[in-house]
Amino acid sequence: MDFLEGAIVAIDKPYGMSSFGALAHVRYVLSKHVGVKRVKTGHAGTLDPLATGVLVLCTGKMTKQIERLQYETKEYTATLQLGATTASYDREHTVDMTYPTRHITRELIDSVLPQFLGDVMQVPPAYSAVHVDGERAYKLRRQSHEVEKQMQAKPVRIDEIEVLDFDAQTMQLQLRVVCGKGTYIRSLARDIGRALGSGAFLTALRRTRVGDIREEDCVDFDHVKEWLEGME
């Protein structure tokens, strides 16, 4: 691979790290490896800090492919906790409300999921990078501004939703989701909880595919240096 000329590298982003933080680390290792101050690098599609999985990085002239890659279909595995909500729709915040769950069955879940398939309108999370009045929504929210009512629904595409597991004792639901650009799985969790007459938030999220790039194609984040050395 000629990283200065241009290359596409997929890494497995670890839990708790921002996409930019992961990019910065890999760019530093790449730059040292090729002996330059800074290799031009960008990523094709942000992953939340609490999410793991496929993060596609482009270097050199291949950064021109970022916009195309962002439109590629993505696949996730998501674990939802039913019966409760958080302000961020994931584990970044503590539970703020609890809801009844005794009525939730696998049959009910199977009956509500089809309404989220196809071209649907989705309201992004308040804790997101969406702009509200020229400012990032998450920045306003962290300053205690109420932004939920100002969040505009956006069109997204969800191609597949498959139940991988449902534990009626713990009320945990694991899904496989195939979707298009701009889909927030956190918002999908929120909306599924509401459709079930309850609440829901994400406890785990992993991106398993971007286009034809799958998780098994990724370089382990902690071993990028060794991967580079193995290419010599």
220 is catalytic: no
> How far apart (Å, rounded) are the C-alpha atoms in residues 68 and 146?
34
The phi and psi torsions of 82 (rounded to 5 degrees) equal -85, 150
- The H-assigned helical ranges of 84-198 are 106-112, 137-142, 185-195
Note the maximum CA span of the chain: 61
Q: Determine which one of 48, 159, 165, 220 is catalytic.
A: 48
Q: Which two tokens stand for residue 53?
A: 């999985």
> How far apart (Å, rounded) are the C-alpha atoms in residues 201 and 28?
35
Q: Which two tokens stand for residue 142?
A: 């962290």
Annotated catalytic residues are 48
